[in-house]
Chain A
Amino acid sequence: MAEVVFIGLSLGSILLLIALGLTITYGAMGVINMAHGEMVMIGAYTAVWTQIYLGLNLFFAIPIAFLVTAGLGLLMERVVVRRLYGRLLDTLLATWGVAILIQQAIVLEFGLRFFDIRVEGLGPGLQKVDVPPVFLQTFSIGDFVIQPYRTFIIVLTAGLALLTWWLLYRTAYGMQVRAIMRNPSMAASCGIDVKRSNALTFAFGSGLAGVAGVMISGFRTVFPDMGTPMVVDGFMVVVVGGVGSLLGSIASAGLLGQLNGVIASLSNDILARAVVFGTVILIIMWRPKGLFSFKGR
Chain B
Amino acid sequence: MALTRRTFVTTTALGAAALAAPYGFVRNAKAADEIEVGVLFSLTGGLSIIEKSLADVTLMAISEINAAGGVMGKQIKPVVEDGASDPKTYNEKANKLVVRDRVPTVFGSYTSASRKAVLPVFERRRNLYFYPTYYEGFECSKNVVYTGAVPNQQLSNFIPWIIDNLGKKKFFIVGSNYIYPREMAKVCKILIEANGAEWVADEYLELGHSEWGAMVNRIKDSGCDVVLSNVVGDSVVAFYREFKNQGLTHDKLPICATVTSEIEIAAMGPEFAVGSYTSFPYFQAIDTDVNKAFIERYRMFVNDPNAVTHHALESSYFQVFLWKQAVEKAGEATPQAIVEGVKGQEFDAPNGHVKIDPENLHTYLTPRIAEWQADGQGKIVDDYGAPIRPLPYVAYGETDDNLFCSAAGLDSSKL
Which A positions have Cβ atoms within 8 angstroms of B? 3-4, 7, 10-11, 14, 107, 116, 118, 124-128, 130-131, 135-136, 138, 140, 145, 147, 149-150, 218-221, 223, 225, 229, 260-261, 264-265, 268-270, 272-273
Contact = CB atoms under 8 A, between A and B. Distances in A.
A124 B234 CA distance: 13
B247 A138 contact: yes
B213 A261 contact: yes
Among the interface residues B46, B52, B204, which one has the most CB atoms of the partner chain A within 10 A? B46
B225 to A, nearest CB: 18
B218 A220 contact: no
A116 B244 CA distance: 38
A11 B213 contact: yes
A149 B210 contact: no
Contacts of B208: 229
A269 B215 contact: yes
B244 A269 contact: no
A260 B205 CA distance: 13
A149 B244 CA distance: 11
Contacts of B204: 268, 270
Contacts of B234: 126, 220-221, 223
A283 to B, nearest CB: 21
A272 B205 CA distance: 11
A265 B49 contact: no
Contacts of B245: 135-136, 138, 147, 149-150, 219
A138 B213 CA distance: 14
25 contacts: A4-B217, A7-B213, A7-B214, A11-B211, A11-B214, A107-B44, A118-B303, A124-B52, A126-B263, A128-B266, A128-B269, A145-B247, A147-B246, A147-B247, A220-B237, A221-B234, A223-B46, A223-B49, A223-B234, A225-B45, A269-B205, A269-B214, A269-B215, A270-B205, A272-B214
A223 to B, nearest CB: 7
Contacts of A124: 44, 48-49, 52
Interface of B: 6, 44-46, 48-49, 52, 177, 203-206, 208-211, 213-215, 217-218, 234, 237-238, 241-242, 244-247, 263, 266-269, 303-304
Nearest to B242: A219
Top 5 A-B pairs ranked by shortest CB distance? A138-B247, A264-B214, A126-B267, A221-B234, A221-B237
B218 to A, nearest CB: 7
Nearest to B5: A116
B177 A118 contact: no
Given A11-B213, A223-B46, A269-B209, 14 more contacts: A128-B237, A130-B269, A138-B245, A147-B245, A219-B242, A220-B238, A225-B45, A260-B214, A261-B214, A268-B205, A269-B215, A270-B206, A272-B214, A273-B206
A135 B269 CA distance: 15
A128 B213 contact: no
A127 B267 CA distance: 6
A264 B49 CA distance: 29
A273 B215 CA distance: 13
A14 B206 CA distance: 19
Contacts of B269: 128, 130
A219 B204 CA distance: 19
Contact of A116 (B6, B246, B267): B6
B397 to A, nearest CB: 29
Contacts of A147: 245-247
Contacts of B210: 220-221
A219 B263 CA distance: 17
Contacts of A125: 49
A268 B201 CA distance: 12
